[in-house]
């Protein structure tokens, strides 16, 4: 089974070549996709292209466009997906594990031939196991990033509970360094696996000042949501839509439209886009995000109140938070008291926070942001302050490069 080496179109700018050569091994490539790929694209964006090699899965690779990816070489291995037919599904499952062995061998050979110094992987699906195995075989350090709490979903079968989860703990404990997306994730890794980690918040580039301070056009108030609409946000977003379409805010003289920038299924598009006050738009490139956010009056960060989503909202952290803070706009956080983003917003004071799953509470919060004297301006200033302190990607890139250099020296 042969891997296919694919070059990509250069994206963005690069810095001078670094002494540390790294191999990125993960099911998804760094790209302008959902949260994890976006975060990795941003972190590795300025790395010298001839010092990075990406090993990834064909399914995730095909979902991204050439211009979305890093400008380094990509080695793409076949992925076989899933099937509703029992025996076909089992066959594909076995084939995916066979491919993983090929990824391990190819990574080991690449490390030795190209003098790779460090491996980087994300705790997701299977490829992180290949990264750890190749690191062990070559005695090279590997760095693990943990963005999502996938253990609850991955432990559905005996194989996942008895094999994959213990192996995940072993990978984390033997990593040279582990980054966790939130304090909640950091606690989970410690409790579940005895693994130490460092919190690395989502980050992005600084938005141009003209975008930060641009006023929304027109007399209508625009509440904006940008990102994937999943089980972790859908119920809260539906309540907001209900408030807007029912005209509750208009009774207080506020004309509001909700703008949704997301990739929606046909069912979601039908459910969300059948009212003139709910404007459904397409997913936008990261380069266009500052201009999109500049046209909003309030940026909404919803999190699910459903008990079935608790595992995600207690540990995950939306990547769009960094974009919202960089925009310098009032942020409205709507989620349960135990969610990571609620904890963070209350601690840092950059948002209007609603922890009650109530249309009345959410309506009052929107009115407070728009009508309370000086409140919106205070939230804008605080958002920028928190961004520069915790979410500036230039600072994260510098710290990441220092970490890699220190790991190679210690090795």
Q: Considering only CA atoms, which of 151, 128, 96 is closest in space to residue 27?
A: 128
Domain spans of the chain, in order of start: 4-202+392-410, 209-390
> Is it true that 4-202+392-410 and 209-390 share their CATH fold?
yes
Out of 3.80.10.10, 3.40.50.2000, 2.40.50.100, 3.30.2020.30, the CATH code matching 209-390 is 3.40.50.2000
Cα 189 to Cα 175: distance, rounded to the nearest angstrom: 13
Cα 134 to Cα 139: distance, rounded to the nearest angstrom: 8
We find that the CATH architecture of domain 4-202+392-410 is 3-Layer(aba) Sandwich (3.40)
> Are residues 171 and 132 in contact, defined by beta-carbon separation less than 8 angstroms?
yes
Q: Considering only CA atoms, which of 99, 330, 346, 347 is closest in space to residue 224?
A: 330
Sheet bearing 22-25, strands edge to edge: 4-6, 74-77, 52-57, 22-25, 118-122, 142-146, 177-180, 198-199
Spell out the per-residue pLDDT of the chain, length 411, in tens: 444 444 443 444 444 434 589 999 999 999 987 778 999 999 999 999 999 999 999 999 998 888 889 999 999 999 988 777 778 878 888 999 999 999 999 999 999 999 999 999 999 989 999 999 999 999 999 999 999 876 665 556 777 778 888 999 999 999 999 999 999 999 999 999 999 999 999 999 998 865 555 444 446 899 999 988 889 999 999 999 999 999 888 877 788 999 999 887 777 777 776 788 999 888 887 788 999 999 999 999 999 999 999 989 999 999 999 999 999 999 999 999 999 999 999 999 999 999 999 999 999 999 999 999 999 999 999 999 999 999 999 999 999 999 999 999 876
């Amino acid at each position: 089974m042969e891997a296919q080496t694919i070059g990509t179109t250069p994206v963005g700018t690069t810095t001078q070549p670094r002494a540390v050569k790294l191999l990125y091994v993960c099911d998804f490539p760094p790209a302008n996709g959902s949260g994890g790929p976006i975060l990795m694209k941003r972190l590795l964006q300025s790395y010298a292209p001839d010092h990075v090699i990406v090993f990834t899965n064909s399914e995730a690779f095909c979902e991204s466009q050439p211009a979305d990816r890093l400008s380094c070489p990509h080695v793409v291995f076949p992925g076989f997906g899933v099937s509703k037919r029992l025996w076909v599904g089992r066959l594909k499952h076995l084939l995916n594990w066979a491919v993983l062995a090929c990824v391990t061998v190819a990574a080991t050979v690449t490390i030795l031939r190209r003098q790779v110094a460090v491996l980087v992987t994300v705790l997701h699906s299977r490829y992180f196991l290949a990264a750890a195995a190749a690191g062990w075989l070559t005695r090279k350090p590997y760095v693990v990033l943990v963005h999502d709490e996938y253990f609850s979903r991955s432990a559905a079968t005996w194989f996942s509970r008895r094999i994959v989860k213990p192996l995940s703990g072993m990978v984390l404990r033997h990593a040279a360094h582990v980054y966790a997306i939130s304090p909640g994730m950091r606690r989970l890794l410690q409790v579940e696996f005895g693994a130490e980690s460092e919190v690395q918040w989502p980050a992005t580039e600084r938005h141009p000042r003209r975008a930060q301070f641009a006023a929304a056009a027109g007399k209508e108030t625009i509440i904006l949501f940008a990102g994937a609409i999943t089980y972790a946000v859908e119920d809260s977003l539906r309540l907001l839509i209900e408030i807007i379409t029912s005209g509750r805010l208009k009774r207080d003289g506020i004309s509001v439209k909700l703008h949704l920038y997301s990739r929606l299924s046909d069912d979601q598009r039908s459910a969300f886009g059948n009212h003139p006050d709910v404007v459904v738009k397409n997913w936008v490139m990261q380069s266009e995000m500052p201009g999109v956010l500049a046209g909003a009056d309030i940026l909404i960060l919803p999190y699910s109140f459903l008990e079935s989503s608790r595992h995600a909202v207690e540990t995950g952290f939306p990547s769009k938070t960094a974009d919202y803070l960089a925009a310098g706009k009032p942020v409205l956080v709507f989620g349960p008291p135990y969610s990571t983003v609620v904890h963070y917003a209350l601690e840092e004071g950059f948002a209007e926070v609603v922890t009650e799953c109530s249309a009345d509470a959410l309506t009052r919060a929107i009115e407070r942001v728009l009508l309370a004297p000086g409140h919106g301006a205070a939230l804008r200033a605080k958002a920028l302050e928190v961004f520069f302190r915790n979410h500036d990607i230039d600072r994260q890139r510098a710290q990441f490069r220092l970490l890699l250099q220190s790991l190679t020296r210690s090795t």
